[in-house]
Structure 1
Amino acid sequence: MRSTMKKLALASAVSGAMLAPLAFADGHKFEISAGAAFQKFDSDRKLDDETGYGVGLGYVINPRWTVEAWWTEIDSELENNGGDVDTESARLDFLYHLENTWGAWQPFLIGGLGDVEFDVDNGSTTDETRWNLGVGVKRELSEHFDFRTDLRWFDSMDENEQDLGLLLALTYKLGKTAAPAAPEPAPQRLDSDGDGVYDDEDKCPGTAANLAVDADGCPMKLMEDVSVGLKLYFDNDSAVVKEAYYSEIKRVADFMETYSNTKVEIQGHTDSRGSAAYNKNLSQRRADAVAKVLVEKFGVEAGRVSAKGYGEDMPIASNEAIEGRAANRRVIAEISAQVETMKQR
């Protein structure tokens, strides 16, 4: 056991010497700890629970991880005859800092492996290898000092025995974490077109002030539905388009000129007087008459205009009344298109 402890102590010292330049070069630091250690022994050991002391050397790998070498000594007594038992242990531990949700107290997990020697005053000794797991908290007292405590469970790899240990210690932090470099003044960034996106990130410079933009500074496009309708009426048994409706037909022609991908179906209808066959023909003549005005007078391409008569089959009012029959003698059309617009601010 003493040979093992010497090797462990030597390895810790050599490691510390090798890591010392790094500790001060990159802001990491060594930690030297000392404090009181309480051991509650497994009942099979027949030892009194006692308090001793311990010292440790730690190296801060990063803000989460620290590796530590610890040596502790606890003087106990045998329960049956009162003989003294000197207990010395050496171990290597890894400490992991958890997310700090406790304010000034920093919780951590700890675990490691080491040797323990039980030296009885009658000259007999026993060595065991134990691994340990535990939890603890620490609190910063000053720039260089921390208070810490941890509770851990020791499991012997040589005997079927488990012990509990409690440590209360002060830690002295060697070195000082490097202060963060003062931030350089940020260069002034320009937004020439005032759209909220800086020039060095703006992929669409010069955007109009009234347009909403995306993260790249480009106008946000919207698709909108637009439409125009046509409805005109005919005298009884007539397919003559009254000039009063030319302005309505021109509105359809202008819409189709604006949206060149549109087509229109002119739909003709009649009231119910007369035979169904006659009314079908009359409705077709009415639809053809409106289509002719649209093409010949207002210049819409003939291939974009179709005409279809539906006869008396689709009334919108009762044919029993004069007003209803007048409403049914009609030609209608509906044209729609999708247009791309820019979203306004």
Structure 2
Amino acid sequence: MKKLLIAVGGLMLAVSMSAQSQEGLYLGPSLSYYYLDSDRVVSGHDEAGVLSFNIGYRFFNDWALEASYGSDIAGEDIDIAQLNAYYWFGEDDGGWRTYAVGGYAYYDREGEKNLQIEEEYTHQLQAGLGMSNMITPQWEFRGDVRVLNKIRGEGKGSMWDASVNLGMRYYFNKPVAPVVVVPVPVREPEMEPETRTLTIKLNVEFEFDKADVLAVYGDELEAVANAMKVHEDITLELEGHTDSRGEEGYNQDLSQRRVDAVKARIHEEYGIDVSRITTTGYGESRPVADNDTDEGRARNRRVVGEMTFTEVVK
């Protein structure tokens, strides 16, 4: 018996752990080694080897119901019929799984005693633990150890037997690959960044009949240029104007020279591309103050521009 237990352990370690569990109808052979209660021995053997044929149905991947019939191939003369239930523990990860087995066994045994043929019919309950592994998608190896106890039959008193069982099962249904549910990450809604809208106004005034940009306007021009460097998508539109003194045609040309001078200053001193600056001269046609006073005429001699842009508040 010790040799058989060692063989069981070696075989269970050698079986591959690569396949899946199964469900559905199955059948297969098993080889059992029985160690019999001494009160049961008739022919002088307290051991028996039994070859059985098994048919069963496995459901929910964790339960199976199985019927089997076997006959001795060595030792005591035994025929045995069984009806057993199986339950597998733990998650099915494609490797070894531990199971419990329990059920009913019916012994029909013959033997010689004092030159007489004796028959014994015994009803037994059995329970045990084992391990199984799907060595291919449809072939399963099982190995377990069981104890059996007489509940009815010939003979007096309680009888205890033990068995070691090795078997193969073939499933007719091919395994269905498990459905793997991949969780979809839920993205938290992104917070809209806080923004603000800014407007920069430019107002450069000129001396009478001149188009020179005075140094006093350097800070205003620099502020405009810095904003255009940060916000490369914005453009600047400049408008040039004059007061009402002089010929209209001359004033039109003067207003254009003034607006071009501001454009050139922004480009040359601050590196802003000229393609981002548009210019228009309006001459004396759009005054903002009274041309009858010196103060009003000074306000009308001007180049103006305005930029509006949005930036993220840090």
Q: Give your verdict on TM over 0.5.
A: no
Q: Which has the higher contact order (CA 8 A, sep 6+)?
A: 2
Bigger proportion of residues as strand? 2
